A = this chain, B = another copy of it.
Amino acid sequence: MDTGTRIEQTLEAALAAGHRQNCPPLLAQAMRHAVFPGGARIRPRLTLAVARACEDADPAMASAAAVAIEFLHCASLVHDDLPCFDDADMRRGKPSLHKAYGEPLAVLAGDALIVLAFETLAEAPARRPQSLGTVLRVVGGAVGSRGGIVAGQAWESEPAIDCALYHQAKTGALFAGATMAGAAAAGVAHQDWRGLGEKLGEAFQVADDIRDVAATPQELGKPCGQDAAHLRPNYALAHGLGPAIAHLDALVLEAIAAIPDCPGRQDLGTLIGLTAKSFLPESLQRRAA
C-alpha cells in the first residue's frame, strides 16, 4: 500500500471508530470537515518515512503515531482559525470549520481531535508495551504547553515575543514530534531525530512565509498577506523573496545532513528533498527557478 493511501485509510478508520459510539452527528461531520480532504499530509508522511528508514519494527504503532500527529495538526488549524485568533474564512479551499459549523462545534471538534489523537495511540496494538509511553510523551511534547504548538500560539498573547522560540514552538515542534514519533514507534533512540525535524520545521516556516507573500489565494486555498495583516514576523517580508528562497534551499540541505545513521538513510534523504519541493506551490517553484 502506498504511503498516502495508508495515511488516509488510517485517518478514516480512527475517525470512524470515534463515531460509532454516541457521537453527536454534527460533531462527527465537523471532525471530518477538519480532516478531509487534507493538505499534503507532510507531517504523517514524515513519521512513516522515518519509521521506514529505521526498519519499521512496529508498523501499527507508526501508523497510529502518524495519524495522531495529523489529528493534532488539524485540531490546531481549527482553533487557530477561530474568530479570537486569525478569524479565517477559508482553509484548504473551503469554508473554515467555524464558518461551516459555527464556533461552538469548531471549539469542540478541535478538542475532540486532540483527545482522538491520544486515543488512537492508546488503541494501537503495540508490539512492545513500553513504546506507547515513549510515543505518547513525544507527541504530547510536540503539541502542549512546554514548547509545543499550543505554546507557540500562546506566544502571540505575550507582550514580547522571542521570535526563534515562537517559530520553534508553533511550527518546529510538530515536525520534530513527527520525526521523533516515527523513530520511537520503530523502537530506536528518538532524541537523535529531533534535529532533522526541527530543521525541516524551520524550512517549512520559511516556505510558509514565502507562500503568504508570493502565492495566490487559489494556490493556497486561503487568503494571502495574513502575516502583514496580523503584524506577524515573516522571513520573506523582512529579507525579500530571492534571499528567502535561497535560505529555504539551504535549510533543506541542512535537514538532509541531519539525518542520523540508519538503514534507510539515503532513501530518506531523497524523499525529504522531494517533500521539501512540495512546500512551495508549483507555480512559485517555476517563478523561483
In whole angstroms, what is the CA distance A113 to B281 when docked?
Answer: 36
The residue on B at minimum CB distance from A75 is B111
CB distance from A187 to the nearest CB of B (A): 14
Tally of chain A residues near chain B (CB < 8 A): 60
Query: Counting CB contacts under 8 A, is A278 at the interface?
Result: no
CB proximity of A74 to chain B, nearest CB, Å: 13
Given known pairs A24-B154, A144-B112, the reply for A104 and B133 (CB within 8 Å) is: no
Oligomer copy total: 2
B82 near A107: Cβ-Cβ < 8 Å: yes
Q: Is the CB of B18 within 8 A of A157?
A: no
CB of A79, distance to nearest CB on chain B (Å): 6
Q: Which residues, 109 to 147 on A, are CB-close (under 8 Å) to B?
A: 110-112, 114-116, 118-119, 121-123, 126, 129-130, 132-133, 136-137, 140-141, 143-147
Residue A279, interface by CB 8 Å: no
Cα A22 to Cα B166 in complex, Å, equals 10
**Chain A residues at the B interface, C-beta cutoff of 8 Å:** 18-28, 31, 75, 79, 82, 84-85, 101-105, 107-108, 110-112, 114-116, 118-119, 121-123, 126, 129-130, 132-133, 136-137, 140-141, 143-148, 150-151, 153-158, 165, 169
- Knowing that A27-B157, A31-B145 touch, tell me 5 more A-B residue pairs with CB under 8 angstroms: A27-B154, A108-B153, A112-B150, A115-B144, A129-B133
